[in-house]
Every structure is written in structure tokens, then in C-alpha cells.
Structure 1
Amino acid sequence: MALVEPVPGAPAAVADCGAERALVVADYHAGIEAGLRYERGVELRSDADGRRARLCALRDRVSPDRVVVVGDLVHRIGDPGEGERDEVERLLDALAVPLTLVPGNHDGGVADAYDRIEVADAGGLRLGDVGFVHGHTWPDRAVLGAETVCMGHEHPQVRLEDAVGGGRTEKAWLRGRLRLEPFADHFEVAPESLGWGDSELVVFPAFNDRSGGTWINVDGQTFLSPFLPDGLADDAEAYLLDGTRLGAYRRV
């Protein structure tokens, strides 16, 4: 059985971290509605209660020892605003299990704002044979040497079209072999000196339903991470949340 298994029908996975079992999500983006109002002038009613209820339902479903958020727990870059603080405090109260955050590009003020959150180093976190990174920067070598590496940041989505031209966009998982060469170039070492095996990279869909995403099967779309797509094998596959296997993501 794989170390990281998606929860059917949800943008979340269960990770076997050796001594612990973790519920893993990426890109929660608490307070996104306030951000959209400020950034784009879009008025949306807060879905804080809905996000919290969905995550707590997943906790009840899989009974984890902890929750790991693979970056962007909050939406506002810098010091969290009042709305975000309230949403996160309510979430922590409701979860009643430890929450570990691998900080993303939106989480700069989290460590100072919440003393109940275990905040990892910016280069990522390794628990047993599972590594966790957000993906907006180059991760630490030790994290990338894990058997399975989980990342967020991209919010992968696929655009699906039917025979008459109708289409829809759905969240997707990306899973494939981690390619050594781009990381060896970054660290300025020979690939064989990294000492890694055939690590698997799992790119998580965004937990937040309002955060948009990268269309991984549409020409002209570019990845956000500095190590994608080069760091992911060409035969990496895409999956829908319900487990539907779409095949190699480049050919979906």
C-alpha cells in the first residue's frame, strides 16, 4: 500500500508517517473571501464554517494523529487579518488534534500569530518516509530524499470536454516519479551524489474551493513552482478526486 493515499472524493490524503498517521491537505486559504474583496473587489459570503466542517468531517472519517497542511493555511500574505485569525482559531478548537503547517508563500505571519500551530521550516518537513513541501521554493535535500514527497501550491485542475464541445473543470491529483536532474542542477551536484531512490511526487489539489488553479492539460498554462514541470517525470499521471485515472497528464 502506498505511503500516501487520497481520501476518495476529497482533496485530502492520509499519510503513513511511521509513528503517526496524518491527514494531509494543501492550500486551505482561510480568509480568502476578505482577500478577494481587497484584491479584486469581489464580494463573497465567507465559507469559513463550510471549510471547517469539511476538514472536521475528514478527521472523523480517517482518525488521524495530526493534520498536516502543506502550505497556505491562510490567504493574506503577511500578518493574518482579523477574519483569518478568527477562522483559524475556530478551526484549531474544532480539530482537537495537533496541526502542523509546512509554510507556503501566504503563511509569513502564521508562526507569530498562532502558538498552537507547529510551523515547520520553510524548506519542508520529513516525517518517517514522507516529505512535505509547499512548492513555491526549492525544498531541502533531506525532504526530497523521502520515499514519497507531498506538495501543494499548484492547485492542479483539468479541463474536460465532451464530443460536442461542452466542458468542465475539475480538481486533480498529479503523481509521478521525482526527476533528479533539475534538483542536482539547483544544488550544483552530480545526480548520483544526491543519494535518492525513486522518490514519488504527489501534487495535491487545493482544499479551498475558491482559490482557482493551474490547468495542467491546457496549452499555454505554466506551473508556478520553480521545479515543475521539469522535476516531475513525463509519464506522471492525473487523477480526479473520485479516483478516476486519467493517464499521463500531458496527454489528458
Structure 2
Amino acid sequence: MARGERVAVEPVVGEPAAIAALGSERALLVADVHAGIEAGLRYERGVELDNRADERREHLCRLLDETDADRLVVLGDLAHRIGAPDGDERAELETLIRAITDRVPLTLVEGNHDAGVTEAFGDAIETIGPEGGLIGETVTDGGGREGTVGVLHGHTWPTADLLAADVVCMGHEHPQVRLEDAVGGSRTERAWLRGGLNPRAFVGDEVITDRERSDPPELIVFPAFNERSGGTWANVDGQSFLAPFLPEALPAADAYLLDGTRLGDVRRV
């Protein structure tokens, strides 16, 4: 099945965010906000950190204003703690969701940390289930789909409907690259991973038969919006991916830094 013009998902330079033009709508996409992470780390590990709730909210609102976005799509893990949000985390979520939805609609793709978010805030936000879904879909006269972005978090097996997308966007991995200099110093940087998707590894052979196409979607793994949430060192041997379909569903991927620097094949970085 042939596609029309592919949708472009373009990172916002210097930011862990991207813009997708979906017909007349511009969507701002981010992943892994992890609101309430400081409260979670205090509870989980006894770690005390300054609370950056205000900075996260202002950062997201600034991006919405600067990109003139019509919608915010969060690719899972809007919240940090698993389970119903309460205390400081709930307070941050209430203020954050209100600030966003006063500007634009908010779509949340449910992640493994969002189990209680839909129940608590479902009246204020739109949700897509953990298996993912399509946004910006246009059905052609011939019954095909164009101008479509697939979205999922990545912690569970996806719906095969995502194979109809031009581009599939996911979070969950918090990809990073470990960079070394000539004198042995090193640092880690958040990174984007982009490459052609292997449909059979993505959804399994048993559901692929009538969905295979000559131009499978591009898969984009988003960096975490929250810089405190850690991540997967995608270019270090022995680091395992979190998604059940990775790395097999992304057999070749280029890595990009937030400033747009293309590092090339992540396995060679």
C-alpha cells in the first residue's frame, strides 16, 4: 500500500521535544515528564533534591508558546510514581495539567507510571491506551491513511495499527549516549534515536501478514523531557533496552544530540 507525503516529525533544536504538522494542527510531542520525581526519589531512595516542578511547568508552557503548537502529546510517564498520584506529585500534576489545558488540549499516551493519572485527571485530558494509537489520521478516498503519526510509550507490545503510520514516536527508554574525549574524560548526553522500523520485530509475525508494506514507518525514540530521570546508554555494550521489541525492531539507528548534532550509527558512537 503506497503512502502519500510522509509526515515530518522535527525535533525542536536544543530541546527534548519535537513538532509534527498534522494537517491544520501542530502537535508538540514530549516523553517522560515524570512530574513529582523529587517526591518519588525521596520516598523510594531517601534522596532529597530541590523541587523543579515550577521549572518543568514553565518549560513546557514556553515550548507551547514558542512553537505555536495546537496540542501537547505526552508519550507516556507524565507522572513519576507508579500508582495513584498523591501529595506533592498530585499537586504538581494538578497545576501542570491546568496550565497546559488553559492553552491547548493535552493528549497522554499511558505509560507504565500513569496508571492513576487517567482516573484522577481523565476529565481534563485525552488518553491513548498503553498499546498506542494514531494521531493526525486522514483517510483517503481509497481507504488508505495519510499524514499519520503513531504514538506509544514503549513498555508493552504495541497495536499493529501503528504500522499504518508514517512515523512512530515512543518514549520509555530515556536514551542517552556516553561520550569520551581523547584524555579519558566522559559525559552523558540525552539523545534521539531514529531509524527504519522492523515491523515483524515490532508486532510479531503472527499479525504482520496483511499489513506488510514496502515503506515501513520510521521509529523515533524520544529523549526524556525530565533530565533527572536517568536513562539507557544506547551506545554502551551490555546496556539492555526496556521495551520488549527493542533493539530488534530498530536494527539500525542514528543518534542525535539535543542541539541537532548527528552522531551517526549509535552502535559506532
Q: TM (normalized to structure 2)? A: 0.89
Is the CA contact (8 Å cut-off) linking 1:174 and 1:237 kept in structure 2?
Answer: yes
Identical pairs, percent? 63
The CA distance in 2 between the partners of 1:179 and 1:108, in whole Å, is 29
* Structure 2 partner of 1:18: 23
* Structure 2 partner of 1:139: 158
Is the CA contact (8 Å cut-off) linking 1:3 and 1:130 kept in structure 2?
Answer: no
* Structure 1 partner of 2:181: 162
Q: Does 1:241 align with 2:258?
A: yes
Local SS of the residue matching 1:15: strand
State the Cα deviation string for residues 101-136 of structure 1 (Å, max 9, x = none).
000000001111012011112211211210100000
Offset of residue 90 of structure 1: 1.2
Local SS of the residue matching 2:23: coil
Offset of residue 187 of structure 1: 5.2
Question: Structure 2 regions of 5+ residues with no counterpart?
Answer: 1-5, 138-147
Local SS of the residue matching 1:16: strand
Q: How does 1:190-229 map to 2 (within 5 A)?
A: 191-196=208-213, 197-229=215-247
Local SS of the residue matching 1:193: coil
Offset of residue 15 of structure 1: 1.1
The CA distance in 2 between the partners of 1:23 and 1:55, in whole Å, is 10
The CA distance in 1 between the partners of 2:88 and 2:163, in whole Å, is 35
Local SS of the residue matching 1:175: strand
Offset of residue 2 of structure 1: 5.3
Is the CA contact (8 Å cut-off) linking 2:163 and 2:216 kept in structure 1?
Answer: no
The CA distance in 1 between the partners of 2:164 and 2:81, in whole Å, is 31
Is the CA contact (8 Å cut-off) linking 1:16 and 1:130 kept in structure 2?
Answer: no
Local SS of the residue matching 1:72: coil
For residue 38 of structure 1, the aligned residue among 9, 31, 43 is 43
Give the residue type in structure 2 aligned to 1:47: R
Q: TM (normalized to structure 1)? A: 0.95
Local SS of the residue matching 1:243: coil
* Structure 2 partner of 1:85: 90
For residue 127 of structure 2, the aligned residue among 114, 119, 122 is 119
* Structure 2 partner of 1:70: 75
State the Cα deviation string for residues 174-202 of structure 1 (Å, max 9, x = none).
00000122135x3514x452234321000
Q: Does 1:107 align with 2:125?
A: no
Aligned length: 249
The CA distance in 2 between the partners of 1:33 and 1:106, in whole Å, is 15
Question: Structure 1 regions of 5+ residues with no counterpart?
Answer: none
State the Cα deviation string for residues 37-73 of structure 1 (Å, max 9, x = none).
1111101121000101111111111011110000000
Local SS of the residue matching 1:35: helix
Which stretches of structure 1, 4 residues or longer, exceed 3 Å deviation after superposition?
A: none
Give the residue type in structure 1 aligned to 2:224: A
For residue 54 of structure 1, the aligned residue among 44, 51, 59 is 59
